[in-house]
Chain A
Amino acid sequence: MDEFQEILQDFLVESFELVEKLDEDLVELENTPEDLELLNGIFRVAHTVKGASSFLNFDVLTHLTHHMEDVLNKARHGELIITPDIMDVVLESIDLMKALLNIIRDTSTDAGVDVSACVARLDKVSGGNGEVETVASAPVEEVVSEVEVAEEPEEEPDYDNMGNDEIEAEIERLLNERQDQDKARRAAKIAAGESVPEAPPSPIEDSTPTAPTPAPTQIPEVPSPPAPAPVAITPKRAEPKAAAPAKRAPAKRAPAQVEQTIRVDVKRLDHLMNLIGELVLAKNRLIKINDDVEERYEGEEFLEELNQVVSIVSLVTTDLQIAVMKTRMLPIGKVFNKFPRMIRDLTRELNKKIELEISGEETELDKSIVEEIGDPLVHIIRNSCDHGVEMPDVRLAAGKNETGTIVLKAYNEGNAIVIQIDDDGKGLNINMLKNKSVEKGIITEQEADSMSEKEAFALIFKPGFSTAASVTNVSGRGVGMDVVKTNIEKLNGIIDIDSELGKGTSIKLKIPLTLAIIQALLVGVQEEYYAIPLASVLETVRITQEEIYTVESRSVMRLREEVLSLVHIGDIFEVDRILDVSEHAYVVVLGLGAQKLGLIVDSLVGQEEIVIKSLGDYLKGIEGVAGATIRGDGGVTLIVDVVALMSMAKGVKATVSAANSAEEITYEKTKASDYKVMIIDDSKTDRTIMRKALEPMGINLVEASDGQEALNTLKSGEHSFDAMLVDIEMPRMDGYSLATEIKKYNKYKNLPLIAVTSRTGKSDRMRGVESGMIEYITKPYSADYLASVVQRNINFKSEFL
């Protein structure tokens, strides 16, 4: 049973691959019905599926494919011209075949689909006039290029009149033939001087004893398989006579046929991708540590070595990441393949003439994106067919070609891939879009008036919008484009529309290459950091507070010729403004399709590669947060969801210049112990000396042994201090840094910091003043002097003495 399952799996994978390609081929066939190569290809698919399904006892599928094969076989031999009507039947049968394959995948049987109607139609097409003698067609085969024929199974015997045994025998024969051809090809390659990866076939290896047909013998005498196979091989064998360069030709083409691939479970790739994600995080951390070490041990010799190792690790990690990403890449052609068929069906349904031009189908995208991108593209293309391209008579009247063209192309642009859908239809009418939206209550009249061209185009993505006057089967349910937008944005993609009335519309989807690891701009606001996906960042500008204007209670600024609405990241993420707001701020200009928004931040940290991690079920769905990442220092940084942010920004009123008047509640000091002073010194002795000097005053004293501890105590808010006595030389954080840190906070602006140090140089004093110290006491000092300085600075009331 297991063996059967295994075969079944292989069968399904192969069949689905074949069928996918089939759609495209069939539509092309309709345009060039004479194309034998195509016909042969299609025939082969039907044949392969039939052969395998009969082997696996899928009778319904066999029955269906058999009749398809009949029709195609006729066409192949020129007895039947493929008309659109015949094509409809063939396409219908292929749809049935797909349905059957799906059922087989799900249930392992092919019951439940009625194919009789379709089979009857197929039968009618192929006509009752007896099966054609297959041998007669041999000459046709010969015309076909050598390589093609090499793969060609020879004419189909009449399976109708075969019993089960005979069919099995036939399959066996075909298998043998295939093997022989493989060998022949290999032999040809050897002849051409190519190395063959597998062991070269030895004469003994040839073993197909069960074959009913006489098994072919040795390689040197390749042309042994029955029927037309020799035709295929003869040219190759003739090759050695030709000059060396000529030999290359078949040899070069050969590798394409024997693609060296391994099928890998996607789960394994996903796991690999996760591991790489961890590695990238570790690399970021390593770089950070390297920087720290560099700073601390400047000039040390080992630094250079460390530097080298770190750069090698980071280089290899990046390469590895790209390599793994590549293994997950699929050509977008996998998605594009289904569109020719779709367009064809649509043109018949809508009575329009539309041609689809596809380019860049080899462009590669991450597997998960390829899977997600299909539906949005279907919607957009359907929309272009339905609303974009006009009816043939309208087109003629407008002086256009009767046949409309839709161009679907994909290409790389930086770290993203762009999928562009252009049509040469009637274009978007801005006024109509606006009127319609106002009518449907999507926007107000006022909004419509102030709308730019791009914003108006973007209206088609609004929920509840549909431009088609009549709702057709194809589109007009008013959900399509809205869903497109959501889906693309889910992939961190951007949609851009351009349109010219009467000339056509162009929709551009810009999608990141991969989902898991992205480039981000790290920004700081107060004490927090946020990561903004770089794909949405257009530019950053440094501004002063005066450049921010308020219009209708919204903050705006002038960016070159534009007015850019602004929002402070702190307002969106409810950040407490505890730090002093400096003169300057930075504006990160975010772009999402046609929308632009300026996000005010306090500082720009830099660009970093980040790995997106989910916040988990407990915190999922928090507006404005797309996920989190772990930074080089091990901390967690939230990733901004630009899409959500854009909509959240609308609800935020101007607060940029909001008064930071943190209400200072000052309690009346009623006794000496109401005063609180912090003593910061790393030496226990020094702390004790200070304590002894101040204790007689009766005030409260708190000690800290270094700057970091002092800062933590201060920030914890447990005590409210009236002054701090700060030593300069301290481990972890020295006195200057401590003072600088403290002065960043608004509420500590007026907290007296008194330096107590043995450093007496003028420059030391200068530094002290710069960092915000107001007094400078040099050791040694007298107890009275210290007490008097403290009393002066905390406004100590003399009556407490």
Chain B
Amino acid sequence: MSDKLKDIINKQAQQQNGGLDQSDNIVQLVGFIIGEEEYAVPILSIQEIIKPISWTRVPQTPAYVLGVFNLRGSVIPLIDLRVKFGLRAKNHNEETRFFVLKQDDEVAGFVIDRLTAAIRIKKADIGPPPDTIASEDSMIGGVGKQEGKILTILKVNKLLARDF
């Protein structure tokens, strides 16, 4: 009896490990568009995605910091990724979304032009960023290749880090 039980447990453990191996090789991302480019962040770093709501300007901040907004009682900074990436600010439209990213205790909202899709991509398909921009300070964590498209994967901790 106990042997049988052990067998079963062992098998289950093996299966589980196998399952883990599989999911280890897949990265789940959410893709979005800013300007012309498609970018992505890990799905687990996204707290939520909301439609644009009103915000309050905060003085003495760089242009890409739009201000703060109220997310169910919390005051959260709002950053315009277009401006941050050197593009011209654009009026919000039907497709504009606020991406609320969270890592540890840091939370911030990011304005993006348009959502694309949830993406499952094999780790093997993610390459390092080009040498010219690969550095610790770079916001780019890697480049994903998918069906002829190129996907820039952003580092969430860099996005959430204050750089002014």
Cβ 8 A contact of B56, one of A574, A617, A618, A637: A637
A680: interface (CB < 8 Å): no
Answer yes or no: B22 CB below 8 A from chain A CBs: no
Q: How far is the CA of A53 from the CA of B70 in the complex (A)?
A: 53
Q: Would B59 and A574 count as touching, CB distance under 8 A?
A: yes
Which of A16-24, A229-237, A620-628 lies at the interface with chain B? A620-628
The answer, yes or no, to whether A359 is at the interface (CB within 8 Å) is: no
Binds B, one of A3-11, A505-513, A598-606, A608-616: A608-616
A628 vs B70: C-alpha distance when bound (angstroms) = 10
Which of B58, B70, B73, B74 touches A635 (beta carbons < 8 Å)?
B70
Interface-centre pick from A573, A615, A628, A636 (highest chain B CB count, 10 A): A636
- A selection of 8 A-B contacts at a CB cut-off of 8 Å is A528-B56, A572-B59, A574-B59, A574-B60, A575-B59, A618-B162, A628-B68, A636-B68
Instruction: Tell which of B59, B73, B91 has the most Cβ of chain A within 10 Å.
Output: B59
Tell me which residues across on chain B come within 8 A of A528, comparing CB atoms. 56-57
Asked if A623 and B162 make an inter-chain contact with CB atoms under 8 angstroms apart, the answer reads no
A27 interface hit (Cβ, 8 Å): no
Contacts of B77 in A (CB 8 A): 615-616, 618-619
- Report yes or no: A622 in contact with B73, Cβ–Cβ below 8 A: no
Asked if B40 is at the interface (CB within 8 A of a chain A CB), the reply is no
Please report which residues of chain A, range 625-639, place their CB below 8 angstroms from some CB of chain B when the two chains form the complex: 625, 628, 630, 634-638
A618 to B105, CA, bound (A): 11
CB distance from B69 to the nearest CB of A (A): 6
| Cβ of B2 to closest chain A Cβ, rounded Å | 34
Beyond A281-B73, A622-B61, 4 additional contacts (C-beta under 8 Å) are A278-B73, A617-B162, A624-B60, A635-B54
- A614 contact from B57, B73, B75, B91, Cβ within 8 A: B75
Contact of A618 among B54, B73, B106 (CB under 8 A): B106
Considering the chains assembled together, what is the distance between the CA atoms of A17 and B88 in angstroms? Answer: 63
A619, A635, A716: which has the most chain B beta carbons within 10 Å? A619
Contacts of A636 in B (CB 8 A): 55-56, 67-70, 75
**Which residues from B are CB-within-8-Å of A638?**
56, 58, 68
Q: B70 contacts which chain A residues (CB < 8 A)?
A: 630, 634-636
On chain B, the residues within 8 Å of A301 by CB distance are none
Give the nearest-CB partner of A572 in chain B. B59
In the assembled complex, the Cα of A573 lies from the Cα of B60 at a distance in Å of 7
Query: B107 on the interface (CB 8 Å rule)?
Result: yes
B29 lies within 8 A of chain A by Cβ: no
* Chain B residue, CB-CB nearest to A619: B77
The reply to whether the CB of B140 lies closer than 8 angstroms to some CB of chain A is no
Q: Tell whether B76 is near chain A: CB-to-CB under 8 Å.
A: yes
Q: Report how far A718 CA is from B69 CA in the complex, Å.
A: 24
Flag if A623 contacts B60 (CB, 8 Å). Answer: yes
Inter-chain CA distance A619–B59, complex, in Å, is 10
**Given A616-B75, A617-B162, A622-B56 contact (CB < 8 Å):** no
Residues of A within 8 A of B54 (CB): 635
Please encode chain B, from 36 to 67, with 1 for each CB lying within 8 Å of some chain A CB and 0 for all others. 00000000000000000011111111000101
Residues on B with C-beta less than 8 A from A572 are 59
60-107 of chain B: CB within 8 A of chain A: 60-61, 65, 67-70, 73-77, 91, 105-107
Q: CA–CA, A281 to B72, complex, Å? A: 11
Interface of A: prevailing SS: mixed
- On chain A, the residues within 8 Å of B105 by CB distance are 617
> Smallest distance from the beta carbon of B24 to chain A beta carbons, Å?
31
Q: Which residues of A contact B111 (CB under 8 A)?
A: none
User: Complex formed: what's the CA distance from A333 to B76 in Å?
Assistant: 39
Q: Are A718 and B56 interface neighbours, CB within 8 A?
A: no
Q: Which of A574, A575, A619, A623 contacts B68 (CB 8 A)?
A: A619
The CA-CA distance from A293 to B56 in the complex, in Å, is 25
Cβ of B121 under 8 Å from chain A: no
Q: Check if B68 sits within 8 Å of A615, measured CB to CB.
A: yes
6 closest A-B pairs by beta carbon, nearest first, are A573-B59, A636-B56, A628-B75, A618-B77, A613-B75, A574-B59
Which residues of chain A in 240-275 are interfacial with respect to chain B, using CB atoms and an 8 Å cutoff? none
CA A624 to CA B59, docked complex, whole Å: 9
B91 touches A716 (CB 8 A): yes
Given A635-B70, A716-B91, A718-B91, are A616 and B58 also a contact pair (CB < 8 Å)? no
B161's closest neighbor in chain A, by CB?
Answer: A618
Q: Are B55 and A622 closer than 8 Å at their CB atoms?
A: no
Q: How far is the CA of A624 from the CA of B105 in the complex (A)?
A: 24
> Closest residue of chain A to B105, judged by CB?
A617
- Bound together, the chains give a CA A716 to CA B76 distance in angstroms of 24
Question: Closest residue of chain A to B76, judged by CB?
Answer: A616
Q: Separation in Å of the A632 CB from the closest CB of chain B?
A: 12
**Within the assembled complex, what's the spacing in Å between the Cα atoms of A716 and B96?**
15
Complex Cα distance A635/B58, Å?
13
Residues of chain A contacted by B160 (CB below 8 angstroms): 618
The residues of B that contact A622 with a CB separation of less than 8 Å are: 58-61
Residue B112 interfacial (CB < 8 Å): no
Contacts of B153 in A (CB 8 A): none
A residues less than 8 Å from B108 (CB atoms) = 616, 618
Q: How far is the CB of B56 from chain A (nearest CB, A)?
A: 4
Q: How far is the CA of A425 from the CA of B162 in the complex (A)?
A: 50
Min CB–CB distance A630 → chain B (angstroms): 5
Residues in A with CB closer than 8 Å to B57 are: 528
Q: How far is the CB of A193 from chain B (nearest CB, A)?
A: 52
For B75, the chain A residues whose CB sits under 8 A away are 613-616, 628, 630, 636
| Of listed A614, A615, A718, residue having the most chain B CB within 10 A | A615
A131: min CB distance to chain B, Å:
60
Name the B residues within 8 Å of A628 (CB-CB).
Answer: 56, 68, 75
CB distance from B114 to the nearest CB of A (A): 18
Residue interface mask A697-720, B partner, CB < 8 A = 1? 000000000000000000010100
Contacts of B106 in A (CB 8 A): 616-618
- Bound-complex Cα distance A288 to B76 (A): 23
Chain B residue with minimal CB distance to A633? B54
Q: Which residues of B contact A625 (CB under 8 A)?
A: 58-60
CA distance A618 to B161 in the complex (A): 7
- Contact between B107 and A616 (Cβ–Cβ < 8 Å)? yes
